[in-house]
Structure 1
Amino acid sequence: MDKQKEIIKQKIIENLEFYGITWDENQHKILVDNDDDFRKIQRKLAERTNLKGQKHKSEVEKYIAQPSDIDISKINPYLVMVESKEDHQQLWSYATTYWSIPVTVGYGRRIRYFVFDRQNDKLIGIVGLCDPVIGLGVRDSDSIGWTKDQKMQRLYNCMTAYILGAIPPYNQLLGAKLVALTLMFPKVREDFYQKYKNSPSIITGVNKKPYLIYIDTLGAFGKSAIYNRLLNWDFVNYTKGQSHLHITANGSWELIKQVVPEEVFETYRFGEGPNWKMRILKRGLRELGLSEDMLSIGWQRGYYRCPLAENWKEYLLGDTNRVVWRKFTQRDLVRYWHDRWITPRLDILKTHLQCPPDIIV
């Protein structure tokens, strides 16, 4: 190994150690003691990636609620699609500063929403959808059960919620559960249809029916309280614990890119974001004489699904081309949130509303 590669290798190991992760060269194993350490690592990585938006505080604070702005019994959400204009980008960037895990930008197709409260036009939270990972065992085997060919035909009809949550003070009021319910608003699948109705699939080149059939997401640490016992959100199983965030979010991505041949980078195809990055990382680690096991950090994350159609499995398996939508209305979903989660806890939630703001996850 030449001198430059040895320097890069040592710098990557130092970056891991700075964030509390030990690489055991003999065992080819990442060493993290317990779940609390995982949380500390993620929080430290988030401080590096998420805090840039704080510079926009003065521009966006008019959208951030104070406790006195909120009558809990009158919370009523509405969605605004995030656009490229500056004020939207500033508000999105600022909202992500409350997350305690690194926030990515998503991959491929993206639809992002602000969730506002109609009673005061303040921001409840945010949610972002992006293209799903092409290879995800817990989805492919445990949830849908499709073949490779079936997946290539109908993965187009799936999206992943790569960020979802409520910001203070709504995060003290079970606001994240409300944000998760907004993905079932008819507006979301209608927006998806309008945005992609004349857009051929990048992977297959075919102009497919842009029906948003299936949304999934991952809990940050194991299972997530957001989706627990929540209408139409089902826990399926856990992921295997491979990740690249502990490497890419700590500054090592730029280092690894230096040792990967240029022609390997040119293998990227739109729609392959996460899978492509994992391939690049594995190649880079091999070039440096490091094991691919460095990606196996053990962050097992809970996998959740939110089907929008009654016959979602039949459609995704290609057994039918007809969609039978689940009959969710915005009004019914908001009423469910109030009746199931808010009214029985109203007194204690009023106390929570006076608590100081905290991070999201």
Structure 2
Amino acid sequence: MASIKKAADAFTREASIKRHLRKHLAVLGFQKAKDGSLVLPEGGKEVVRTLHSAQREERLREAQGFVASASTKLLGKLASGADVVPSRIRPSLQRVSSGTWESDLFRLVALSWSVPVSVGFGRRIRYLVWDESNGKLIGIAAIGDPVYNLSVRDKLIGWSVEDRGARLVNLMDAYVLGAIPPYSSLLGGKLVACLLRSRDVYDDFAKIYGSTEGVISGEKKKARLLGITTTSSMGRSSVYNRLKLHGVDYFRPIGYTGGWGHFHIPEELFSEIRDYLRSIGHPYADKHEFGDGPNWRLRTVRAALDTLGFKQDLMKHGIQREVFLCETASNSLKILGGKSGSPKLDSLLSAEEVGALAVERWMIGRADRRPDYQTWTREDFLNLLAAHPVGVATTVARKTAR
């Protein structure tokens, strides 16, 4: 009798997950092609935001108490348009430590992103970007361990599987990067991106992770930050377009992802999948330590789909994201490819120097052409923390029309 009940429970659980998954994908607008793969609805960036909406709403619901408390304490750290004098903007980087008010501010700002921000993976360095002229926040950036399998990156460098295992430790990935209003209206996102290619970030990495042990290989490695990858969340990206200062590439496009992933599987459904795998004794239910695989969450969902009889093509959401690479040294690719030698850092400037160049290159001229940033107030930021936020452009237009 016990075995019959167990089998019945497993059948009920499987049926529930299948219904939940099909319903969720249908709500997002996915259609199923003849080959079993998912077909995206058309609509550009708004479609991407919609696909992420369930996951974003989950996170906002879970963070309601934090948002209410942190907003009250930290809203004064954000700028209104009237606080910003473009010609006086003086950017600076502050590394964020866990358990501080700066960490709370980072989290609060990250929650305003329309595409949910990852918490990072393995090694992690987070930054706040300040405007020293007024003490207000320009934006945030964070780098963490890179994706293990990234074909366009590996092909560019010329890596074999063994090469990647030996030298991936010298790369990081910018898993969050951007400016907040009103600085975002002044192309502040370009400024924040450029700051990652600075001597400050290079030295921080050397201090924290320069002498490290590979979790997978267990070998002692002298890590150097030779490059930073990042991936646009909305297909092609205007932030990284022509991202040069004085003829130096700060990020450059290297190709597109294949359109596979798990972002369209919300946390509630993922938890249900883990419970199911746990009930049948599958190891991926709780196999989430770094070193257990290149992407535990993706592999967990794939394992569940396979067990439930779904095609793996359900993990191909079809959104090909543009991949960018920042090379900190002029010979980064050669060293990553296996050549010996020291990194050539002649063009690697301090954050202060990079910030000054970026303000001059993009922000001052933008302010003259688009003065509507001045209508933004810090209270408008709270709208970005709504489940369905009104876009910044819409908010500015509405305020201007009053």
User: TM-score, normalised on structure 1?
Assistant: 0.92
User: How big is the shift at 1:205?
Assistant: 1.5
Q: Check the 8 A contact 1:192/1:211 in 2, yes or no.
A: yes
- Determine whether 1:17 maps to 2:21: no
1:96-141 deviation line (CA, Å, top 9, x unaligned): 1221112111111111111111111211101111101111111111
Summarize the Cα distance change of 1:131–1:259 in structure 2 as closer, same or farther, 3 Å threshold. Answer: same
Matches within 5 A, 1:213-252: 213-231=226-244, 232=249, 233-247=251-265, 249-252=266-269
The aligned residue for residue 4 of structure 1 is 13
SS, match of residue 225 in structure 2: coil
The aligned residue for residue 327 of structure 2 is 307
Matches within 5 A, 1:162-181: 162-181=175-194
The aligned residue for residue 146 of structure 2 is 132
More deviation in 268-277 or 105-114? 268-277
Q: Check the 8 A contact 2:212/2:222 in 1, yes or no.
A: no
* Alignment partner of 1:28 out of 36, 43, 53: 36
User: How big is the shift at 1:262?
Assistant: 4.0
Summarize the Cα distance change of 1:198–1:236 in structure 2 as closer, same or farther, 3 Å threshold. Answer: closer
- Determine whether 1:98 maps to 2:106: no
Residue type of the partner of 2:269? S
The aligned residue for residue 37 of structure 1 is 47
User: How big is the shift at 1:37?
Assistant: 2.4
1:262-320 deviation line (CA, Å, top 9, x unaligned): 43346544156652222111101111221111110101100000000111111101111
User: How big is the shift at 1:191?
Assistant: 0.7
Q: Check the 8 A contact 1:244/1:295 in 2, yes or no.
A: yes
Paired with 2:362 and 2:173, the residues of 1 have a C-alpha distance of 25
Summarize the Cα distance change of 1:38–1:345 in structure 2 as closer, same or farther, 3 Å threshold. Answer: closer
Matches within 5 A, 1:281-292: 281-292=301-312
- Determine whether 1:74 maps to 2:84: no
* Alignment partner of 1:62 out of 50, 56, 76: 76
SS, match of residue 57 in structure 1: helix
The aligned residue for residue 101 of structure 2 is 87
Residue type of the partner of 2:131? D
Extract structure 1 runs of 4+ deviating beyond 6 A: none
Paired with 1:194 and 1:95, the residues of 2 have a C-alpha distance of 27
User: How big is the shift at 1:354?
Assistant: 2.2
Q: Check the 8 A contact 1:80/1:116 in 2, yes or no.
A: yes
Paired with 1:131 and 1:97, the residues of 2 have a C-alpha distance of 21
1:316-338 deviation line (CA, Å, top 9, x unaligned): 01111421124222343223213
Q: Check the 8 A contact 2:284/2:296 in 1, yes or no.
A: no
The aligned residue for residue 335 of structure 1 is 356
The aligned residue for residue 366 of structure 2 is 345
User: TM-score, normalised on structure 2?
Assistant: 0.83
The aligned residue for residue 208 of structure 1 is 221
Larger Rg: 2
Summarize the Cα distance change of 1:322–1:284 in structure 2 as closer, same or farther, 3 Å threshold. Answer: same
Q: Check the 8 A contact 2:240/2:252 in 1, yes or no.
A: yes
CA RMSD in angstroms, aligned pairs only: 2.3
SS, match of residue 253 in structure 1: helix
SS, match of residue 120 in structure 2: coil
Q: Check the 8 A contact 1:117/1:124 in 2, yes or no.
A: yes
The aligned residue for residue 6 of structure 2 is none
- Determine whether 1:155 maps to 2:168: yes
Q: Check the 8 A contact 1:309/1:324 in 2, yes or no.
A: yes
Summarize the Cα distance change of 1:118–1:42 in structure 2 as closer, same or farther, 3 Å threshold. Answer: same
The aligned residue for residue 399 of structure 2 is none
User: How big is the shift at 1:256?
Assistant: 1.1
Paired with 1:253 and 1:176, the residues of 2 have a C-alpha distance of 32
Paired with 1:137 and 1:161, the residues of 2 have a C-alpha distance of 17
Q: Check the 8 A contact 2:186/2:366 in 1, yes or no.
A: no
Paired with 1:84 and 1:47, the residues of 2 have a C-alpha distance of 24
User: Percentage identity across aligned positions?
Assistant: 31
The aligned residue for residue 114 of structure 1 is 128
- Determine whether 1:49 maps to 2:59: yes
1:44-85 deviation line (CA, Å, top 9, x unaligned): 532332562532210111211111211111111111111112
Q: Structure 1 unaligned runs (5+)?
A: none
SS, match of residue 192 in structure 1: helix
Summarize the Cα distance change of 1:37–1:235 in structure 2 as closer, same or farther, 3 Å threshold. Answer: same
More deviation in 126-135 or 89-98? 89-98
* Equivalent residue pairs, number: 358
